[in-house]
Amino acid sequence: MSIQVKDVFPKENFKKVTAQVGEQLAYAGMEVDRMKVKMAQAVDDGVDAARKAVKRSRHAAEDMIDETAYKIKHDPLQSVAITFGIGLGLGALIGWILGREKK
């Protein structure tokens, strides 16, 4: 006993079923195209956001450098004292860490 296509889909229904399948495939194709467009837009938005973040970071770094240069010119002795204190503190910290590792 074998099942044939004509037993499952009579001629009257076959045209209707193939038309429905064709419509569903066309709809699926449109959905895929829409998803591709949305994905491309999302990628473009991400790239734009990254570029803006880099630009803001660069401007912030430039502002910080300018502010530091101004403060060094305005109070040179305080700048030297702060630099000396930071160097002394880092030297002591490194010496302590290296001294602990030898034990």
What are the structural domain ranges in the chain?
6-74
Q: pTM above 0.85?
A: no
**Spatial contact of 17 and 9, defined as CB atoms under 8 Å apart:** yes
Note down pLDDT in tens along the chain; length 103 residues.
Answer: 555 655 555 666 767 777 787 888 888 888 888 999 999 999 999 999 999 999 999 999 999 999 999 999 999 999 999 999 999 999 999 999 998 876 6
**Spatial contact of 77 and 85, defined as CB atoms under 8 Å apart:** no
**Spatial contact of 72 and 79, defined as CB atoms under 8 Å apart:** yes
pLDDT, position 4: 60
Residue 9 DSSP code? S
